[in-house]
Structure formats: C-alpha cells, structure tokens
C-alpha cells in the first residue's frame, strides 16, 4: 500500500488535531499551532492527517447509511425500523453529527496546512506546491460532501484566531460550490499526474479533473444552472482526451484489485486506501466488504454482516449477457464452514429482495487473518467509467440530443461489461430418443458449462441451460470460434445441439435509447445504476436529477408488491418515509447550539 503511512509521529499529529477539533466543527482553538511546519517531513505528516479523514468518512457508516438511501438497495435489518437507515431521524441523529463534524475536521486540517505550508521557503517549492495542491483538493472534496448533504454551510478557509470567530453564518450553496471550484481548479495545476504516482490513493490530476466534472454536474442540477454542463463536459474531456485512461476489460477485476490492494490507474482514478486488520501497526482498516457485501460467518472467507440488500429495480435493469449483474448482485451465499470462498448458489431469479451486493467480497482480501469487523479493501471514489458517463450526460444536455461521441462513451461502458464471445443460447437440432436421465453436456470438452433437461415421458432433450458462476452470473465463457457441443450418457442417443454466441454490438444502446434527449437521459441514468451501484453515488444522482422523492416512493410500492408481507412492510418504510426535506440532512442540533450564527437557519422541513 502506497498511501502515506500513519507512523507514530503522524499519529501524534492526529492526536493534536483531534484534541482541538473533534468536538468543534468551527475550530475554537486560537492558540498558535504547536506543530512545526519547518520540514518537508512534517508537511507530509500534516497532509496525512487530512487524508486520514477520508478513511473515517468512507470506511463505516457511508457504506450502508449515508450514501445508500437510493433505489439500488437498502439496509437489510427489517427489525430495527428507526433512525437514519429508515429515514425516521431528526436533527439530533448522532450519526449525522459525526459525519458533519468529521468533514469539518478535514476542512480544519486542510486550512491549518495551507496557512503554514510556506513557513519555510527553504523547502523545495515543487514539494510545497504539490502538498498545497493535495490539501486544496481535499478541502474542496470535503466541502463537496458537505454541500451535497447539508446545502449551504459555514464557509471557513482560515482557522479561527479568536473565540469570536467560531460563530460563522451559513454561506449559500452557490458560495460553497464556487469555493470548491476555486480550490480544485488551483489544485489541478500543481498536483502530480497519476502516471507519475502509479496509484490512485493520492490526489492526482485525473482525480481532480474528473471531480470537477462531477461538481459542475451537481451545480447544473441542484442549482439549476444549466450553463455548468459546458464546464462538466470540458473537465470530463480533459480526462478522456489525455489518452491514458481506459476501461479495465474485466469488470470484476476492478473490485478484486481493490480487495488485493493492487492498482489499476487506468480505470481507478481515485480511491480510499485501507490496509491491515487493526492489529499491531496496521490500523488503517475499514469495513468495505464487511457491511456491504455477501454475508459470511466463515472466518476463512472473512466474517461479513451482509447489512445491505439489493432491490428488484436494480436486478431488473440488467439483461442477459450483462456480466455486471453476476458480480454486483451475489447469486450465492457463503458457506459457514470450509475453505476460503466456499459458497452455495441460490435458486436462479428467486428471492431477489433478499440478495446481497456482491461487489465487495472478502474472499479476495490478502491480509490475514480476516478479522470480524474490519477489512483491508480499498473503496472507489472515481472510476473512468464514471467519467465517460458524466461526459455523455453533459454532452446530451448541451446539444439537446444524443451525439455520436456521447453514444460511443456509453457504449464503451456497456461493451466492457458484455459477454462478447460467450454462450447466448443453445439450439437443439435433434432432441434424440431414449433418455431416462439428463445426459452430460460438454462444450469443447468441458462438462462444467451447461446442464441438460429432458422430457422423461418422451425420453427427449428439451433444453440446455448454462450453469451458475459466482463471478459472471453464468458460465458464459469466451470463445473465439463457435464451440462444439457433445451430448453423451443419459441412456439415450441422437441428441444434437449447437450454440449461439453473444456479439459485441448487442451490448449497444438501442434505437429507442438514442431516439431523443429524454430517452438518452433516461438511458444514462439507468446505466449509472448498472455500472456504479453501491459506490455511494446513486442517492446524490437522483437528487441532482430532481427525481429522488418520486423514485423512492416508486421503490416502496414495488417492494410492497413483490416482497413477503412482514419484510415488505418494513422495507417499504425506508422509501415511504422519504419527503422533500430528505434531499438534505438537517444541520446537527449540536452545531446549532455551538454556533450562534446558525440559529434560525435550519434546512427546510427540519425546523
């Protein structure tokens, strides 16, 4: 792991910061810093303290509470119907206070470093500039999270020097967005490129450019400023036209790499790094795969709570041949005993409401022992497929209709995930006779690919189906030339079959998808769900599109109609409880008490 290591001296830095800032969103400490910024080493340690907040924010509650409340899935505990996961919270919700405070802690740490980065001009300017750029971006990133979830918040870009400075009024959402753009644009000029770094766990030019595209999309949607689509397209194109980034040809490998702490800088532009199992000096573990992922009680595989369930809506978005379905929605359950990864397949296309996300799987982790509550898997913040889809979205809004370039961007994402060259179907040429049991089906000599079905009364072959696969969903395979099918055993003879393979172009958007701006917009929205589910993006996408409340109510109705009564009634509450006020979290009650300037300025509906 190439993330800046939290060695003992850095932990001392964090303890200094924490003692002053953990309880105060706007810092009340007005004493001179006791930390020295006189060496490059200390600047790096201070920067590490800013990065550390990323791990705190994304490593636990984010995975199943803060960013999950969307149409893709839900919290799976139908017994506890209170609080954040069931949208029955209020301004006193502890988890919201923790999130708000942690994000401002990141802002405070960034401010402190930015104020002191030039204390010693003898430190090489290129080092100071690179550190400055990373701190600027991280401050912008934390403010981006704040404005998405809380709207306008106090805008603090210098730390308080006197007690009177702690009472800071709310800035408007526009003012916060303008500061984010200012910070990130300045950072883009001075941070390293990802090719030089060789890993995505540190701020880099590609991450900044892609993030700016996302910021501008949110400004266009949430502020209603459609001119920002031009900026969104510009920054996405900077990533695309650089020519370095490309999609990993194997969708599942993206997430296996995160579990193995292996870097794919062409696909993964920015990721939160975790490492270890919270034993010894390896303290930087998170809960990726523990709370969101297939449930496991097997210590060899890694204990996982399986706290999140998949919605039927997401499952229905995938069509046969889309390999992302098999990876993102687990078609198995982990066995309670046995070797690492031992699993049992679930009945095909049944009990979808009880399926779990398969995107983050503990069986691929390399740090052992895999302890109960923590994992070493990294977490994606920005992938190249996201950039392609953002470009297509902005381009469509600018031009009023799908263009060939925008269509191609979406089709790149779809083709990467398609079972091109895999088995689409079997064609029974001759059903044969005399079969008393299902014969063995071999595809190019491999008997593990498919299973035969017979009509026992007629003794004839009536169907051949692909077997289940834990990674791709089914054993599609990938063939350069059409494979041969041999049928043996079963007590009969004469059955003959062939196969039809998937073609790459079958993955492409349909004529209806690209028939108008509206249809293409809907196609992109659905594609983002297929591609980016359970990456903490969907709720905020729905909000910026202006369809969050209506979509949540639709999902609540769907759950009631498709899920067994007891669970359905409970799960539907997650969605039925949503109101317009839930487009933002409330400002924490404790912050209203601490900051006099916020009194009377609660978010609408939370007063």
List Cα–Cα distances, 143 to 43, 105, 176, in angstroms.
22, 11, 7
Domain match, 347 and 495 both: no
Domain match, 403 and 469 both: no
Residue 216 falls within a domain, yes or no?
no
List Cα–Cα distances, 68 to 276, 329, 380, 512, 551, in angstroms.
25, 15, 15, 30, 14
Helices 228-242 and 205-222, axial angle in degrees (round to 10): 160
Tokens of 131: 């550190």
Task: Please tell me the distance from the alpha carbon of residue 254 to that of residue 207, in angstroms, as a whole number.
Answer: 17
Domain match, 25 and 172 both: yes
Domain match, 9 and 62 both: yes
pLDDT of residue 213: 98
pLDDT of residue 350: 62
pLDDT of residue 67: 66
Domain match, 371 and 435 both: no
Question: Residue with structure tokens 């200390």?
Answer: 42
Q: Which domain holds residue 155?
A: 1-191+554-597
Domain end point (choices 436, 466, 501): 501
Q: Which residues is 296 bridged to in the sheet?
A: 304
Domain match, 393 and 324 both: yes
Task: Please tell me the distance from the alpha carbon of residue 103 to that of residue 141, in angstroms, as a whole number.
Answer: 9
Whether 529 and 386 have beta carbons less than 8 Å apart is answered as no
Q: Please name which of 324, 387, 323, 434 lies closest in space to residue 537, comparing C-alpha atoms.
A: 387
Task: Please tell me the distance from the alpha carbon of residue 166 to that of residue 366, in angstroms, as a whole number.
Answer: 45
Residue 311 falls within a domain, yes or no?
no
Residue 286 falls within a domain, yes or no?
no
pLDDT of residue 68: 76
Task: Please tell me the distance from the alpha carbon of residue 239 to that of residue 455, in angstroms, as a whole number.
Answer: 56
The CATH number given to whatever domain includes residue 438 is 2.40.10
pLDDT means over runs of 10, the chain (607 residues) = 42 40 39 68 96 95 83 78 84 96 97 96 97 98 98 93 80 98 98 97 98 98 98 98 98 98 97 87 85 95 94 95 97 96 84 89 94 94 98 98 98 98 98 98 97 97 97 96 98 98 98 98 98 97 98 93 74 92 97 94 96
Whether 257 and 264 have beta carbons less than 8 Å apart is answered as yes
Task: Please tell me the distance from the alpha carbon of residue 299 to that of residue 285, in angstroms, as a whole number.
Answer: 17
Residue 209 falls within a domain, yes or no?
no
Longest dimension (CA), the chain: 92
Domain match, 378 and 466 both: no
Domain match, 579 and 471 both: no
Beta carbons within 10 angstroms of residue 342's beta carbon: 16
Task: Please tell me the distance from the alpha carbon of residue 412 to that of residue 534, in angstroms, as a whole number.
Answer: 21
Say whether 463 sits in a helix, a strand or coil. strand
Domain match, 266 and 330 both: yes
**Number of compact structural domains in the chain:** 3
Whether 287 and 374 have beta carbons less than 8 Å apart is answered as yes
Residue 66 falls within a domain, yes or no?
yes
Residue 206 falls within a domain, yes or no?
no
Considering Cα of 536, then 541, then 544, then 547, what sign does the dihedral take?
Answer: negative
Residue 176 falls within a domain, yes or no?
yes
Identify the H or E element spanning 217: helix 205-222
Task: Please tell me the distance from the alpha carbon of residue 155 to that of residue 26, in angstroms, as a whole number.
Answer: 9
Peptide bond into 369 cis (omega under 30): yes
Whole-structure pTM value: 0.93
pLDDT of residue 570: 80
pLDDT of residue 454: 98
CA atoms within 13 A on the CB side of 171: 16
Residue 602 falls within a domain, yes or no?
no
Domain match, 470 and 327 both: no
Domain match, 443 and 585 both: no
Domain end point (choices 471, 501, 531): 501
pLDDT of residue 28: 41
The CATH number given to whatever domain includes residue 63 is 1.25.40.390
pLDDT of residue 79: 59
pLDDT of residue 18: 40
Domain match, 367 and 514 both: yes
């Amino acid at each position: 792991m190439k993330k800046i290591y939290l060695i003992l001296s850095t932990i001392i830095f964090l303890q200094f910061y924490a003692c002053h800032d953990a309880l105060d969103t706007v810092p009340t400490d007005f004493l001179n810093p006791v930390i020295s910024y006189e060496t490059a080493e200390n600047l790096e340690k201070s920067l590490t303290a800013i990065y550390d907040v990323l791990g705190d924010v994304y490593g636990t509650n984010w995975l199943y509470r803060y960013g999950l409340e969307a149409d893709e899935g839900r919290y799976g505990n139908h017994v506890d119907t209170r609080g954040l996961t069931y949208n029955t919270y209020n301004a006193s919700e502890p988890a919201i206070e923790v999130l708000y405070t942690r994000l401002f802690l990141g802002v405070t740490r960034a401010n402190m470093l930015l104020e002191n980065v030039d204390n010693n001009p003898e430190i090489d300017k290129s080092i100071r500039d690179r550190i400055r750029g990373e701190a600027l971006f991280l401050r912008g990133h934390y403010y981006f999270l704040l404005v998405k979830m809380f709207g306008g918040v106090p805008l603090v870009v210098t730390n308080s020097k006197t007690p009177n400075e702690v009472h800071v009024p709310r800035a408007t959402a526009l003012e916060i967005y303008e500061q984010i753009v200012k910070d990130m644009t300045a950072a883009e000029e001075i941070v390293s490129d990802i090719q030089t770094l060789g890993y995505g766990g540190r701020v880099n030019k590609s991450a900044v450019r892609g993030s700016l595209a996302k910021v501008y999309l949110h400004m266009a949607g949430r502020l209603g400023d459609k001119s920002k689509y031009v900026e969104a397209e510009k920054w996405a194109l900077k990533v695309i036209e650089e020519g370095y980034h490309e999609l990993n040809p194997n969708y599942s490998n993206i997430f296996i790499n995160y579990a193995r702490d292996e870097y794919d800088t062409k696909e993964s532009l920015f990721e939160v790094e975790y490492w270890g199992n919270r034993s010894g000096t390896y303290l930087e573990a998170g809960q990726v795969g523990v709370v969101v992922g297939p449930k496991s009680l097997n210590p060899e595989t890694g204990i996982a709570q399986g706290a999140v369930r998949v919605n039927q809506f997401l499952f229905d978005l995938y069509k046969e041949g889309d390999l992302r379905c098999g990876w993102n929605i687990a078609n198995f359950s982990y066995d309670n005993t046995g070797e690492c990864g031992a699993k049992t397949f679930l009945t095909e296309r049944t009990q979808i409401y009880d399926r779990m996300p398969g995107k983050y799987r503990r069986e691929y982790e390399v740090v052992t022992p895999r302890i109960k509550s923590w994992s070493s898997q990294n977490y994606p913040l920005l992938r190249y497929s996201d950039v392609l889809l953002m470009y297509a979205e902005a381009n469509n809004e600018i031009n009023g209709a799908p263009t060939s370039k925008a269509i191609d961007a979406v089709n790149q994402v779809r083709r990467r995930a398609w079972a091109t060259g895999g088995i689409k179907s079997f064609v029974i040429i001759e059903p044969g006779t005399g079969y008393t049991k299902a014969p063995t089906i071999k595809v190019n000599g491999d008997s593990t690919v498919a299973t035969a079905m017979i009509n026992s009364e007629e003794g004839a072959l009536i169907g051949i189906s692909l077997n289940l696969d834990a990674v791709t969903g089914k054993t599609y395979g990938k063939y350069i030339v059409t494979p041969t099918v041999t049928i043996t055993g079963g007590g009969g003879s004469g059955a003959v079959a062939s196969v039809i393979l998937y073609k790459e172009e079958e993955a492409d958007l349909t004529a209806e998808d690209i028939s108008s701006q509206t249809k293409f917009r809907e196609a992109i929205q659905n594609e983002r769900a297929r591609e980016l589910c359970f990456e903490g993006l969907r709720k905020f996408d729905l909000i910026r599109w202006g369809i969050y409340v209506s979509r949540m109510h639709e999902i609540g109705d769907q759950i009631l109609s498709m899920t067994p009564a007891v669970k359905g009634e409970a799960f539907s509450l997650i969605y039925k409880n949503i109101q317009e006020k839930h487009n933002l979290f409330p400002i924490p009650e404790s912050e209203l008490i601490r900051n006099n300037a916020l009194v009377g300025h609660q978010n609408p509906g939370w007063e």
